[in-house]
Amino acid sequence: MQQPWSGWAILLTINVVVYILQLLIDPKYEDVFRWGILDTSELSWLTPVHLITYQFLHGDTWHLFINVLMLFFLGRPLEQQIGRREMIALYLVGGIVGAFVQFAFGLVNAELFAGPLIGASAAVMGIMGTLARLNPRQEVYLLLFFLVPVRMKWNWIFLGTVVVSLLWILSAYQYQTRGQVAHAAHLGGLLYGAFYAAKLVRAGGLMRFFPGMPRIRFVSNDPSKGSRATRRRNWRKPRVVDAAEVAEEDFMSREVDPILDKISKQGIHSLTERERKILDKARSKM
């Protein structure tokens, strides 16, 4: 009980609690909770607030169930890679980016894409996009239609989800029909997740923009090899550590062990300045 809650658990709990309160207080979004809905057909002074609040509101129980189920299965493995703070920030920013993409499509065709927007789907898609791009070759089992088990690599899941979102958007244009699902917001969340994995993780994560906050730290799978092909493999499946959220011994082992392996293979003269500083820090802890 003394351990801090995981980021995905905090987000999941907020979604469930807000939905229960909404059912008890304002089941039809006619009173208090209607002020949390994001309207993509117009901008107001409350729009910055709605960009956050809409991510925790849901239309019905099934809508909530699907989102929290995905948050549970996707959030746990991803948080082990990026840490709790980054998980929460990724969720919120992914939802905001998804909303902006929905806004953009609404500007092109307001009848098809503009209007009220609620749900955690865009934020969850951001988590999926990040997890898929960090682990593109990893195979996972999916229950297609909750019945048929299918084994697929994350890379294909990501590409397939992008294609499905695009097809739904194109279908809406072709048949001039407005659906109940914000596929443009889903697409925005997915693409932001891919951008996060490709650019922000290696640069230190979202927290690097806030002074005094910990950054994500990369640890190469094989620091003794520095070829271009190896760097590409490490980009495909990196190992990341949030130094502020893991035990100090675990952090030191992740940092020091690869350096010791490098010394045994190439000698101490092969160490970089950063690696020498890590060894000095390890000695001071002993």
pLDDT at site 214: 64
Q: How many CB atoms lie within 10 A of CB 186?
A: 27
Which domains does the chain possess?
7-209 (1.20.1540.10), 216-285 (no CATH)
* Cα dist from 276 to 218, 248, 260, whole Å: 16, 18, 11
Contact 185, 122 (CB under 8 A): yes
CA distance 61 to 10: 19
Of 155, 147, 249, 232, give the one whose Cα is nearest residue 194.
Answer: 155
- Average pLDDT for 261-279: 75
List pLDDT tens digits, range 182-239. Answer: 999 999 999 999 999 988 877 777 766 666 666 665 443 333 334 344 344 443 444 5
Q: How many CB atoms lie within 10 A of CB 75?
A: 26
Phi, psi of 153 (to 5 degrees): -85, 150
pLDDT at site 3: 58
pLDDT at residue 284 is higher than 70: no
pLDDT at site 285: 58
List pLDDT tens digits, range 17-42. Answer: 999 999 999 988 888 898 999 999 88
Q: 104-118 as b/e, with b when 16 or more CB fall inside 10 Å?
A: ebbeeeeebbbbbbb
Tokens matching residue 135? 């682990």
Inter-residue long-range contacts of 204-210, CB under 8 Å, 24+ positions, other chains counted: 205/82, 205/83, 205/86, 205/89, 205/242, 206/86, 206/89, 206/90, 206/93, 207/85, 207/86, 207/89
Residue 243 amino acid letter: A
pLDDT at site 228: 43
CA distance 214 to 229: 30
Task: Kindly report the pTM of this predicted structure.
Answer: 0.75
Q: Give 74's contacts (C-beta < 8 A, 6+ positions apart).
A: 124, 127, 128, 131
- Average pLDDT for 99-107: 94
